[in-house]
Every structure is written in C-alpha cells, then in structure tokens.
C-alpha cells in the first residue's frame, strides 16, 4: 500500500495537475496534451568522482535550447537513470526544468520495477516540474510481464499520476516489447497520451498507429535511424539521441516529413543513419558507479 505521505502527494497532484489536464478534457476540450515533435533524450554528465555534474547538465541544456525542439526527455536510457539514486533522479529533473525554456515540454522517465515505486516517483517528478511521465516497462520478472500484468501496472500509474503518462517500450534494454494489444487497451485511458517506441520495428509502429486511430493517442519513434519511416506510417515525432549532437539536422528531417518533401527527407535520412549508428555504439552508458567503466 502507498504510505500516507505519498497519498497526500497524490491528492495534491490530483487537485492541481489533473485539473489542468483531465479537467480540461471533461470541460469539453476533449484533447490530451499534444506531444508531437522532436525531443533529445538528455544525457546525465558526471564528474571525475562519479557525481552528477549539474553545471555541465545546465550548460548542455542551454546549448540544446537553441534548437526548435518540442521539449526534452530526461531520465530515459540516455540519462542513465538506473545508475542514479531517487534523490538524484528528482534533482536532475528539477535542474532541467529550471534551465530549459518555459515553452518546452519536459518528459521525465519515472519508471521503476514496482507499481508503487513508479507511482511515488511519478508524483515526485510532477512536483519538481515534469510535464509528463515517460514510464518504461518493468522488466526484472520479464517472464511474468504478460499483457494483463502490464495493463494493470500502467493503469494504476495513470490513475494516480498528476501528469499525463507516455508509455515507453525499449526492448534492447529491457528485453521486453510492450505488446500491441496492451498498447491498444491503454490508449483508451484518459491520462495516457502516447508511446515512445524504441524497438525499430516500423510495421509495429504502423500497426499501433492504425489500431489506436480512434483514440487521442500519439506515437513517437525512439531513434533518428527510423524517424522518416516512423513519420511515413503515422508517428508524430521522435525521441532521438542523435538530436543531442545533430539537432538542426534532425529538426530539418522533421520539417521535410511534415511538409511532404519526401525525396529530400529520404536523402537526409540516409545521411543520418551512419552518425546515428555511431551514437549507439559510442554512446552506451559507462556506468556512474564504475561497474562498466574501463580502467
């Protein structure tokens, strides 16, 4: 069960955050928050003594703020959230919120292995400034993560979250794809607004778009490597690690797709595939605590 302090936070969040979102839908606006656009998944820099380097984090945010991104993702895989303490995760979100332009969306990764911990982290991240929670699939007991179990998990989180929830499927790291049937069911929840799909299966992305077309639900491609293909089958944007280093080019690819300049978009996509592959090979987390850091 959730502790008294968490329930108090949930009640406060429901009176504030959900009034802004769910309350607006109930009043007849009928729209969830729009997450369409390009987001760089912000890295977490560390000092030589393996502490979070907040000064460098803010410096990076100021540089990224010069590009026409829709917003920023923090505490995704690029943010190395498994290597951070709970207080560090919240402090990073707070610092990013303070440093980033006010008109940008902040999507914060709040996923934990248990439903209770995820609810607590989501509520806390809302309190420090997150606009939406990006919730990765719990995966330690992957063999038990059936569609029913995942639907139950995400429904409970979305019910108690004071901010909108974005599903996050990243099988390369979790070994678990969020099943399409679960995504379709969850897309009907009023506080679940979309999914970041990092699996790279464009057929799956297209199927999710097709099967959720009657819902107010959006799909973000999880890599610049298949961003054009994602747009072609109905994705509305992407969370792209490459945007941290080639922000202008990734945003240009977005513009070309949105304006139907598919031939130019294809040429640019081809040019971005190699550097995107390099970010995957060279940008792997080295491990804050040193367990994977080369000697």
Provide the pLDDT for residue 30: 55
pLDDT tens column, 122-148: 999 999 999 999 999 999 999 999 999
For the chain, where are the alpha helices, taking DSSP H only?
4-20, 22-24, 54-64, 86-99, 115-127, 147-160, 171-174, 180-186, 202-211, 227-232, 247-258, 262-282
| Cβ atoms of 58 and 95 closer than 8 Å | yes
| Cβ atoms of 154 and 133 closer than 8 Å | no
**37-39 β-sheet, strand order:** 37-39, 237-239, 218-221, 192-197, 165-169, 132-136, 105-109, 71-74
Provide the pLDDT for residue 283: 53
Provide the pLDDT for residue 279: 74
| Cβ atoms of 35 and 166 closer than 8 Å | yes
Provide the pLDDT for residue 281: 58
Regions in the chain scoring below 70 on pLDDT: 1-31, 280-295
**Predicted TM-score of the model (pTM):** 0.87
> Binding site: residue ranges?
239
> Tokens in use for 182?
């679960």
Which H/E stretch holds residue 133?
strand 132-136
Indicate the domain borders of the chain.
34-280
pLDDT tens column, 75-103: 999 999 999 999 999 999 999 999 999 99
Annotated active-site positions, please?
168, 196
> Tokens in use for 47?
């000092």
> Binding site for pyruvate: residue ranges?
239
- CATH superfamily ID and name for 34-280: Aldolase class I (3.20.20.70)
Report how far apart, in Å, the C-alpha atoms of 229 and of each of 225, 265, 271 are: 9, 10, 14
Nearest residue to 107 via CA among 59, 40, 159:
40
Would the CA dihedral through 148, 5, 124, 141 be positive or negative? negative
């Amino acid at each position: 069960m959730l502790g008294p302090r968490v329930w108090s936070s949930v009640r406060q969040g429901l009176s504030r955050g959900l009034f802004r979102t769910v309350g607006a839908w109930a009043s007849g606006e009928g729209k969830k928050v729009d997450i369409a656009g390009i987001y760089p998944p912000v890295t977490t820099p560390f000092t030589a003594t393996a502490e979070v380097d907040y000064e460098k984090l803010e410096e990076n945010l100021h540089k990224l703020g010069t590009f026409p991104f829709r917003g920023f993702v923090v505490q995704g895989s690029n943010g190395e959230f498994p290597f951070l303490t709970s207080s560090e995760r919240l402090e990073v979100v707070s610092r990013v919120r303070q440093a980033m332009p006010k008109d940008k969306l902040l999507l914060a990764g709040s996923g934990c292995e248990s439903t209770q911990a995820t609810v607590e982290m989501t509520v806390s991240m809302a309190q420090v400034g997150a606009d939406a929670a990006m919730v990765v699939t719990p995966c330690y007991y992957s063999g038990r993560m059936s569609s029913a179990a995942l639907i139950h998990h995400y429904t409970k989180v979305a019910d108690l979250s004071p901010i909108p929830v974005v599903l996050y499927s990243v099988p390369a790291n979790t070994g678990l794809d969020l099943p399409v049937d679960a995504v379709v069911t969850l897309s009907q929840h009023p506080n679940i607004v979309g999914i970041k799909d990092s699996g790279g299966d464009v057929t799956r992305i297209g199927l999710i778009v097709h099967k959720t077309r009657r819902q107010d639900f959006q799909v973000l491609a999880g890599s610049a490597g298949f961003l054009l293909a994602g747009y072609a089958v109905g994705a509305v944007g992407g969370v792209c690690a490459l945007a941290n280093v080639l922000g202008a080019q990734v945003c240009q690819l977005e513009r070309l797709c949105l304006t139907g300049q598919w031939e130019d978009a294809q040429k640019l996509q081809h040019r971005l595939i190699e550097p995107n592959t390099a970010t995957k090979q060279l940008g792997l987390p080295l491990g804050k605590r040193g367990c994977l850091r080369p000697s």
